[in-house]
Amino acid sequence: MSRRWLCVSCWRRLPAGELRYRPAEAQSDLPEWMRPPRVEELRPLSELGRRGLGRLLAEDDGPVPEGVTPYCACGQPLTARAALAGGEEMGLGFAGPRSSGKTLLTLTAVRELNGHRIGGEPVGLLGIGPTAARFRALTHRLFDEHRRPEPTLPEAARTRPGEGDQSNFCWEVFAGRSADRLGLLTVYDLAGETWRLPSHERRERLDRYLGLLTSLVLLVDGAAVGADLGLDARDAWVKSGQPAVSGAEDEEWLSAILDRIGARSREVDLAITLSKADLLWDEPAWRALRPADGGEAAVAEEGVTAAGGEPPDDGRREAIAEALDRSGRGGLVRAAESHFRSVELFAVSSLGFRPAPADVGEDDSLLRPVSPRGVVEPLVWLLGQRLRELAPAR
């Protein structure tokens, strides 16, 4: 298979024959990172060192000449670590209505995954390009400053290359005793409204990312489920005036996602994830939704990682299914199972607790530390579906 490069800005996968370079005459005295890319300056990389018949016979997947920085057609420089040997990329999506906790789960789950032990061996994530700096700034805001993430902006037409890339992340994945990387984990943090766009409204970058998608976390808002179950599913950190999503609306979300992904849904693994589950598991009737005591470390010791990604068999799946069914969302699971490659159910709390009025400061920051519960389990399961080294033991 021809070698390809992944552009983390526009999500293109480019063979060497489509790479660009910046000619010497287009260079300036400014450092590369200080000069905005100008696409019109870039030339096909295939021109370098190829003349006449040799150029016509050159291989499209040949090596990049030493000392030359390859560029994507969108104008972004490409790192050598984004080169793909073939089938390495794992596109991970987080979908759900606004205020369902999508960005919170993205931050806490990926953070918990880095260093999490599977089969006794830690998973390692190494960011590509500006991923580490961007992600660190977001997690610092949540874990150190105890402030909610800024709202994710809807997908919009960009006026220049690189605009809007703050939602793009890509990590190399390492695990086990092998020194080789297992693949690339890509995340595009999309606003809820973007997933609901009519399928005939094309968005180039979104559609290219969906072409990468192998794994999807679909959030079902635990506050809405709790309300439909007749519980007082409120917390002091949620802004007032936000309407709960009904079971029918959750089904509309799934329908919109399927329309956008199309036939590729058969190639995608789906983790239906009940967010804000702490709003339910504090109730005696729904205590089975709670992960093992002790947080993620205890989950690691009590079965999730020992089975190499096998979902916990402690009655929680049945409790999640019952909560979804009794709140009018049972059809969501059955429909998902008929459209996706594989489906599993999870219940998580990105904060780890239900904020009470005494937990929220006057500046709307939390006064107690964030302690996620269960958030890594959907990612461990999804990784196990794709990476042989992290697959459940048989």
pLDDT band at 172 (very low <50, low <70, confident <90, very high): very high
The top-scoring range by mean pLDDT among 45-59, 169-183, 259-273, 309-323 is 259-273
Kindly report the CATH number assigned to the domain that includes residue 270.
Answer: 3.40.50.300
Q: What is the 3-state secondary structure (H, E, C) of the chain?
A: CCCEEECCCCCCEEEHHHCEECCHHHCCCCCHHHCCCCHHHCEEHHHCCCCHHHHHHCCCCCCCCCCCCCECCCCCECCHHHEECCCCEEEEEEECCCCCCHHHHHHHHHHHHCCCEECCEEEEEEECCCHHHHHHHHHHHHHHCCCCCCCCCCCCCCCCCCCCHHHEEEEEEEECCCCCCCEEEEEECCCHHHHCCCCCCCCHHHHHHHHHEEEEEEEEEHHHHHHHCCCCCCCCCCCCCCCCCCHHHHHHHHHHHHHHHHHHHHHCEEEEEEECCHHHHCCHHHHHHCCCCCHHHHHHHCCCCCCCCCCCCCCHHHHHHHHHHHCCCHHHHHHHHHHCCEEEEEECECCCCCCCHHHECCCCCECCCCCCECCHHHHHHHHHHHCHHHCCCC
Domain count, the chain: 2
On whether both 100 and 184 belong to a single domain, the answer is: yes
On whether both 238 and 346 belong to a single domain, the answer is: yes
On whether both 187 and 318 belong to a single domain, the answer is: yes
On whether both 55 and 26 belong to a single domain, the answer is: yes
On whether both 79 and 91 belong to a single domain, the answer is: no
- Choosing from 38, 65, 83, the residue where a domain stops is 83
CB contact at 8 A, 221 and 96 = yes
Backbone angles phi and psi of 307, in degrees to 5: -90, 5
- Choosing from 65, 83, 101, the residue where a domain stops is 83
Give the range among 10-14, 107-111, 188-192 with minimum mean pLDDT.
188-192
Assess whether pLDDT exceeds 50 at residue 307: no
Region at 231 (left for phi over 0; alpha for psi -120 to 50; beta for the rest): beta
Number of Cβ within 10 Å of residue 218's Cβ equals: 24
Calpha distance 165→186 (Å, rounded): 13
On whether both 66 and 95 belong to a single domain, the answer is: no
On whether both 222 and 179 belong to a single domain, the answer is: yes
- Choosing from 53, 83, 113, the residue where a domain stops is 83
On whether both 49 and 156 belong to a single domain, the answer is: no
On whether both 224 and 301 belong to a single domain, the answer is: yes
On whether both 145 and 268 belong to a single domain, the answer is: yes
Domain encompassing residue 304: 87-390
pLDDT value of position 363? 92
On whether both 151 and 96 belong to a single domain, the answer is: yes
On whether both 212 and 107 belong to a single domain, the answer is: yes
Number of Cβ within 10 Å of residue 294's Cβ equals: 12
Assess whether pLDDT exceeds 90 at residue 214: yes
Give the range among 65-69, 280-284, 285-289, 385-389 with minimum mean pLDDT.
65-69
What's the pTM?
A: 0.86
* Of 265 and 61, more confident: 265
pLDDT value of position 294? 43
